[in-house]
Amino acid sequence: MKQTIKYLSIATLVTVGAMTMSCNKIDEGAEPQQEDNIVTLTTTVGFDKGATTRALSSTGEKTFAAGDQIAVIYKNTSNNTKKVVGDITSGAGTSSATFTVTLTNPKKDAAIRYIYPASMAKATVATDATIDDAGTVDFTNLENQNGTLVSLGSSLDLCTFDAATWGGENLPSGTMTNQLAILAITLKNGSSINDDITGMTFSDGTNNYNVTRSAADAPIYLAILPVDSKNISITATDGTNYYTKTLASKTYAMNNGYTVTWLMTEAGHALNGQFTINAGGDKVKFAQGNLQATYNGTSWSWAFAANQWDYIGDNPGNTSIINPGEVNANNVTVDLFGWVGESCNWTGAAMYGISNTTNAGGGAVDNYGNVAKEKLKSDWGNIIGIGWRTLTKTEWDYLFNTRTSGSTVNLKSDARYTYATINTDETSVNGIILFPDGVTIANGEATNWGTINAVSAWGTKCTSAQWTALAAKGCVFLPAAGVRAGNAVYESGTHARYMQKGIDDISLLDNYAYYVDFKSNELHFGTDYYRHYGGSVRLVRVVAP
């Protein structure tokens, strides 16, 4: 439900006080120099008395605070763009305050801009910058927020005023306009989960906003650039569990506030096992299952498979993909994704590799990208949210081949992996078991042990109960989920390709990507093949040191 918040319409009245002038002293005997015209002005800025985005007084009135600053962007007589910051000199604790600014050699027939708060102006404004948002406002400040009303109001609640020219001895007066939309957010999973949420990501497909907060039973306040009929993805976490939400064709207009409640879908959680991924000792936890995307006929939602062994294979979903980002049936799930390079022009779900396009060549940048050594257009972790990412080729290689795990499995030290069939007493699934760092697993904890740290024909065998016990120790299972080409899936249950984040600066052909590729008695960490071949995605999140 849209709610227009009165305080977001901010009226600002600028008046000018006395000016003082000074000049540089010319040393006796020196050549005459161009005198600087340094003009000091006082500017009074007023707030709407009903505004409440800012630090609040006891009456709930929007007020200024000691230490507030305003930025003034202007042209000097050399036609260079300059920025000055004015300090509050009076009015703290009220809805009207005076700021003092000093301009050097101002060009009075040129454009001028006010930016409040000054923290939203770029730290350094280029001398040739145009006096507009691109030239003067630092929207990257919005990328990381803490979700509180006071912080938003004091640092991010962007208001600007522009004048085409100004003349005489006075600064122009005018009304500053709020440039952002403000959301007051409540997240629910049954009941409100705000009092548990420590992180949230809001993405409109172009801009990503991350909130890191102290969990509190209070709205999560977020300042965003206006959006017009865009699909929105929201992810949130309490540090263990992860939640997602997709909104279709949403509009959030500038100078408006919205009180919103979103019913979140639980996306899953991170497993408890820790795995070292490089010589520096960085550790990760794996997601509870492979990444899945579900289409309901209107929009996509993202989650982890309920179980580590789950996969879609050649069922509808993977075999229903018809166009970039679309499927031809409602309520189907996809879990085999192509590798989309940053040169590709796809957006939405398509940029995560949901497409049956099979043209790997031809030089068309809209076919998964065609630039050698380019990066992923968007890491799959971005669709789940804060902390999640895809392992690189080097990290996968280290995890399988180099890691000193400190684990002992069936008397084998530094055990890292084994080929296995799990759930042998119910529905058997082939894949690879990864052993976490620092565990001990005895002979009797599996029906049979195959080769440790080497390929085998799914030699390790576990019942459902045995696998449950191994999973409780932090073991990870990567199912042989098959490989997709277009809308055809082959070798489901006997072959797998797990996607790698990047190419690690290794020379690679156009339209190719790297995969972890395994089947019975085969294992490759740098398989390079066409990007349109869909593979599985198992995300990780870094363990805080």
CB 121 within 8 A of CB 81: no
What's the pLDDT score for residue 436? 98
What's the pLDDT score for residue 531? 87
Residues present in the chain in total: 545
Query: In 3-state terms, what secondary structure has residue 397?
Result: helix
What's the pLDDT score for residue 22? 29
Phi/psi at 354 (5° precision):
-100, 90
What's the pLDDT score for residue 467? 98
CB 421 within 8 A of CB 458: yes
What's the pLDDT score for residue 26? 28
In 3D space, the residue among 434, 293, 305 whose CA is nearest the CA of residue 354 turns out to be 293
What's the pLDDT score for residue 493? 97
Both tokens of 23, joined, read: 């000049």
What's the pLDDT score for residue 6? 34
The verdict on whether omega for the bond into residue 219 sits within 30 degrees of 0, i.e. cis, is no
Beta strands at 144-145 and 208-212: parallel, antiparallel or unpaired = parallel
pLDDT greater than 70 at residue 480: yes
Eight-state DSSP code of residue 120: G
What's the pLDDT score for residue 492? 96
Q: Give 435-448 pLDDT, tens digit per residue.
A: 999 999 999 999 99
Top-confidence residue, 384 or 31: 384
Classify burial at 544, counting beta carbons within 10 Å of its beta carbon; exposed 0-12, middle 13-18, buried 19 or more.
exposed
Eight-state DSSP code of residue 16: B
pLDDT greater than 60 at residue 10: no
- Low-confidence winner among 45-59, 196-210, 400-414 (lowest mean pLDDT): 45-59
Q: Hey, how many other C-beta atoms are within 10 angstroms of the C-beta on 513? A: 30
Q: How confident is the model at residue 241 (pLDDT cuts 50, 70, 90)?
A: confident
What pTM value is reported for the model?
Answer: 0.70
Top-confidence residue, 269 or 370: 269
CB 100 within 8 A of CB 39: no
What's the pLDDT score for residue 50? 53
Q: Give 414-425 pLDDT, tens digit per residue.
A: 999 999 999 999
Query: In 3-state terms, what secondary structure has residue 6?
Result: helix
What's the pLDDT score for residue 51? 52
Classify burial at 545, counting beta carbons within 10 Å of its beta carbon; exposed 0-12, middle 13-18, buried 19 or more.
exposed
CB 172 within 8 A of CB 166: yes
Contacts of 397 (CB under 8 A, 6+ apart): 525, 526
Q: Which value, to the nearest 10 degrees, does the dihedral of the CA atoms of residues 266, 268, 269, 275 take? A: -160
pLDDT averaged over the chain?
85
What's the pLDDT score for residue 330? 77
Q: Hey, how many other C-beta atoms are within 10 angstroms of the C-beta on 171? A: 25
Query: How large is the average pLDDT for residues 7-11?
Result: 34
CB 77 within 8 A of CB 115: no
- Low-confidence winner among 36-45, 57-66, 416-425 (lowest mean pLDDT): 57-66
Report d(CA 277, CA 427) in Å as an integer.
32
pLDDT greater than 70 at residue 359: no
pLDDT greater than 70 at residue 57: no
pLDDT greater than 50 at residue 28: no
Q: Give 131-142 pLDDT, tens digit per residue.
A: 999 999 999 999
**Region for residue 34 given its phi and psi (left: phi exceeds 0; alpha: psi -120 to 50; beta: otherwise):** beta
Q: Which value, to the nearest 10 degrees, does the dihedral of the CA atoms of residues 534, 365, 343, 287 take? A: -10
pLDDT greater than 70 at residue 20: no
Q: What is the CA radius of gyration of the chain?
A: 29
Q: How confident is the model at residue 386 (pLDDT cuts 50, 70, 90)?
A: confident
The rounded percent of the chain whose pLDDT value lies above 70 is 86
Question: What burial letters (b/e) apply to 188-208, b meaning 16+ CB within 10 Å?
Answer: ebeeebbebbbbbbbbbeeeb
Report d(CA 275, CA 434) in Å as an integer.
9
Please give the span between the terminal C-alpha atoms of the chain, in angstroms, as a whole number. Answer: 41
- Low-confidence winner among 24-33, 41-50, 361-370 (lowest mean pLDDT): 24-33
Both tokens of 521, joined, read: 């008695």
Report d(CA 332, CA 195) in Å as an integer.
33
Report d(CA 219, CA 116) in Å as an integer.
24
What's the pLDDT score for residue 312? 96
Name the H helices within 18-158. 133-136, 149-151
Within 13 Å, how many C-alpha atoms sit on residue 200's CB side? 30
Top-confidence residue, 27 or 203: 203
Q: Give 306-344 pLDDT, tens digit per residue.
A: 999 999 999 988 988 876 666 777 788 999 999 998 888
Classify burial at 367, counting beta carbons within 10 Å of its beta carbon; exposed 0-12, middle 13-18, buried 19 or more.
buried
The rounded percent of the chain whose pLDDT value lies above 90 is 52
Report d(CA 116, CA 176) in Å as an integer.
9
Q: Give 72-127 pLDDT, tens digit per residue.
A: 999 999 999 999 999 989 988 877 888 889 999 999 889 999 998 999 999 999 99
DSSP 175-211: --EE-SEEEEEEEEESEE-TTT--EEEEE-SS-EEEE
pLDDT greater than 50 at residue 455: yes
Beta strands at 181-189 and 191-192: parallel, antiparallel or unpaired = antiparallel
Question: What burial letters (b/e) apply to 3-20, b meaning 16+ CB within 10 Å?
Answer: eebebbbbbbebeeeeee
Q: Give 504-542 pLDDT, tens digit per residue.
A: 545 566 778 889 999 998 999 877 788 889 999 999 988
SS3 content of the chain, % helix, strand, coil (to 5): 10, 40, 50
